[in-house]
Amino acid sequence: MTAILSIILLAVFSSLFAEEIPISWEADKAESYMENDKITKVILKGNAEVKKDSLLIKGEEIEYNRQKNQILIPGSALLLEGKIRIEGKDLLYNLKEESGSLKEVSFVNPPWYGKGEELKIEKKGQYLIKNGYITTCEFFPPHYRLKAKKIKVSVKDKLEAKNLTLYAGKVPVLYLPYYNQNLKEGAESFFGFVLGQDTDWGLYLLNTFTFPLKGYSASYHFDLREKKGVGVGFDLKKKPKDGEEGILKTYYIKEKDTDKERYQFNYKYRDAWEEDEREMVLLSEAHKLADREFLKDYFYNDYLEERQPRTYLSLTERKPQRFLNFLVRKKINDFYSVTERLPEVNLSFPLQNFGKNLYFRSETNLANLRKEIEGETKTSVRLDTFNELTASRRYKGWLNVRPHTGLRLTSYTKNKEGKEAFRSLEEAGLDLGTKFQKHFNMKNANFLHIVEPRLSFDYQEVSLPPEKLLNFDSIDNLHSDKYITAQLINRICPKEEKLDLLRASLKTNYSLSESRFKDTSLIFNLNPRANWSFCNESHYDIPGKFWKTSTSNFSWWKKKHSFNLSHYYQNEGSNSLVPSFYWEISPKWQAKFTTSYRLEEKDFESREIVLYRDLHCWKSSISFYRDSTQRSVFLTFYLTAFPKNVIGIEKTFEG
């Protein structure tokens, strides 16, 4: 009966309202009111609903005023549009202006949920919740909520409120005079803080406020440290678009205990575009720091990422047969050793075929160089060009032969004595290589064993030894030598797959000029099964008869467990064993244990236990850390919907 009535109503009212807003409706019963032979009002009763484009309005009784383009629903009402769901009472809605209001409202726009005494629809996609709250917890009552007298929601843009209070359950825990949250995917949370105590800072509270801007996001830092004082900063991040992105970071603090002014001004920028058959890349970085230890003291993660940040401007043009780069590198921090390039131009032509099995490549570099050497600032303009001719051929179907010869010419406006200098380098070599392979079967599986022996003979003769030149970089440190390089590669892989189950590479150098072996390197990777692997990279000094470096890692993992064991060795440096274990105890609980044991000293360098807890709308963790100088407890929280911004509480103890 409802379907038949809907068809009749649609046929009648669609023709009558042809010039009005296009809508459709359904109901168990419909009443129409006319004035001057025109329908002015329609009342739908029983399972009533009105649809306009993607908007669906439901209620037990719906009154539609044709003259005002207005819908009135006394009692319970429901609005649905895409992922948005609004329930309330006493709906008044204007179809033409797409605005209206409800009382006793609940609002859903995942991941956000809200309630309020009243909701005003200011226009499509923009809402005002009065005397209510918002949360990312879909439970009722929610685990946490943000409560305010007025909350503005723009579903495709942002959420905004003033004089907002954060409640955990029924307990108020934080007051914010202003709140602005970007609702776009991948956006950062508006507010984050870390509360803690340690030896250097005393009690501290680090606050970050993030605001969305068109094409950017801006973050303000307001940090309080008991022993150091107030630190302030401003970050501006350009959101990636069409190959362009960038970030600006600033920070300033005048330390109470030292009276020193410490600061940073950092920016990074990247832009890439294509024109016809060429690719252009623009890169730029600048890092102005108060002193060498600033990043280590205040932004330790940035320090670990790059301990000596670079300042430069680089413009690169790539074509199929040409590579051109313009580089300016400037020293702006006196405490770093930097080779300045003011500027440098590189032009190179990749390997090009000049006939059957004959190839040619060329590199040219022009640089105005400056560097502090032995306590004095040295400068020189250097023109360096290298040209190489290579042939490649396969003999008897198994032996790969690659002879090559090259000439490097380098001129300097100044050498160590401050005079002009010219250096030539002649080089020649022969590379030999082959590949043997054999199929074998093991446990009804087919495998391929591949052995690749390689042998190289290289000769280079320089007309001017590096001792007579200013050492700006590796180009100035070339010397005469004759050497042999031998390498043996072993691989085992499934016959139908490209992934190696085992790969071992042994490589060594023998200097004919010095009649002795030099370094030997071993790289070993083992992946026999889908849930464990082992890898090692080691370097051995044959003349000195000692291992220079060695790094090993064993990993084992299953669905709810993982174990990792690493060994780090550096001659006259570290020699540590680092095991770590992860366990998913339950869907809501996880644990991780990591320690570092110093084999030479026979003691623990550090130990850390971390417990993770899923609090539904929140994620939390508590870590217990200890090393030889201090102990710390670090508690973190972050919203599941906004994992980038962490609320942290840290306590550090001496000893």
Question: 317 pairs with which residues across the strands?
Answer: 280, 324
Phi, psi of 16 (to 5 degrees): -70, -35
Phi, psi of 212 (to 5 degrees): -80, 135
188 DSSP 8-state letter: P
CA distance 623 to 363: 52
3-class DSSP state for residue 83?
Answer: coil
Residue 178: its pLDDT value, please?
A: 86
Of 489, 514, 539, which marks where a domain is finished? 514
- Residue 70 placed within a domain: yes
Structure tokens at 25: 């409706």
Structure tokens at 85: 């769901």
Domain count of the chain?
2
Residue 512: its pLDDT value, please?
A: 92
CA distance 54 to 375: 73
Residue 10: its pLDDT value, please?
A: 45
Could you identify the residue written with the tokens 């407890």?
A: 633
Residue 62: its pLDDT value, please?
A: 92
Tens digits of residue pLDDT in 193-250: 888 888 889 889 999 888 878 888 899 999 999 999 999 999 999 988 888 999 999 9
- Residue 57 placed within a domain: yes
**Res. 655 pLDDT band, cuts 50 70 90:** low
Task: Report the DSSP pairing between strands 532-541 and 546-557.
Answer: antiparallel
What 614-620 contacts at long range (C-beta under 8 Å, 24+ apart), as own/partner pairs, is 614/587, 614/588, 614/589, 615/143, 616/137, 616/139, 616/143, 616/640, 617/135, 617/136, 617/137, 617/138, 617/139, 617/142, 617/143, 617/144, 617/641, 618/143, 618/144, 619/643
Q: Is the pLDDT of residue 189 over 80?
A: no
Structure tokens at 269: 């920028």
Q: Which amino acid is at 18?
A: A
**Res. 18 pLDDT band, cuts 50 70 90:** very low
Cα within 13 Å of Cα(513), Cβ side? 10
In order, the DSSP letters of 604-642 are EEEEEEEEEEE-SSEEEEEEEEEESSEEEEEEEEEETT-
297 DSSP 8-state letter: H
**Res. 645 pLDDT band, cuts 50 70 90:** low
Q: Which amino acid is at 482?
A: K
CA distance 237 to 327: 24
Q: Is the pLDDT of residue 464 over 60?
A: yes
- Residue 100 placed within a domain: yes
Neighbours of 408 (CB within 10 A): 19
| Domain range enclosing 30 | 2-171
CA distance 329 to 313: 7
304 DSSP 8-state letter: H
Mean pLDDT of 105-111: 90
**Res. 4 pLDDT band, cuts 50 70 90:** very low
Of 496, 514, 532, which marks where a domain is finished? 514
CA distance 235 to 535: 40
CA distance 361 to 389: 7
- Residue 643 placed within a domain: no
Q: CATH no. for residue 67?
A: 2.60.450.10
Neighbours of 52 (CB within 10 A): 18
Share of the chain above pLDDT 90, in %: 62
Q: Is the pLDDT of residue 635 over 90?
A: no
Structure tokens at 96: 């033409």
Residue 397: its pLDDT value, please?
A: 87
| Nearest one of 82, 141, 151, 84 to 116, comparing CA atoms | 151
Phi, psi of 88 (to 5 degrees): -175, -160
* Strand (E) or helix (H) holding 155: none
CA distance 423 to 383: 10
Mean pLDDT of 461-481: 95
Tens digits of residue pLDDT in 164-185: 998 888 899 888 888 888 777 6
Mean pLDDT of 84-94: 94
- Residue 156 placed within a domain: yes
Which residues touch 314 (CB under 8 Å, ≥6 apart)?
A: 281, 282, 283, 284, 325, 326, 327, 328
Share of the chain above pLDDT 70, in %: 95
Mean pLDDT of 131-140: 90
- Residue 530 placed within a domain: no
Mean pLDDT of 397-421: 96
Residue 181: its pLDDT value, please?
A: 80
- Residue 16 placed within a domain: yes
Of 171, 191, 221, which marks where a domain is finished? 171
Q: Among the listed ranges 114-118, 370-374, 382-386, 437-441, which one has the minimum average pLDDT value?
A: 437-441
3-class DSSP state for residue 98?
Answer: coil
- CA-based Rg of the chain, rounded to a whole angstrom? 35
Structure tokens at 251: 């920070």
3-class DSSP state for residue 474?
Answer: helix
- Residue 67 placed within a domain: yes
| Angle at CA of residue 202, ends 201 and 205, nearest 5° | 80
Residue 238: its pLDDT value, please?
A: 92
| Angle at CA of residue 8, ends 7 and 14, nearest 5° | 85
Tens digits of residue pLDDT in 481-530: 999 999 999 999 987 767 889 999 999 999 998 889 988 999 999 998 88
Report the mean per-residue pLDDT for the chain. Answer: 89
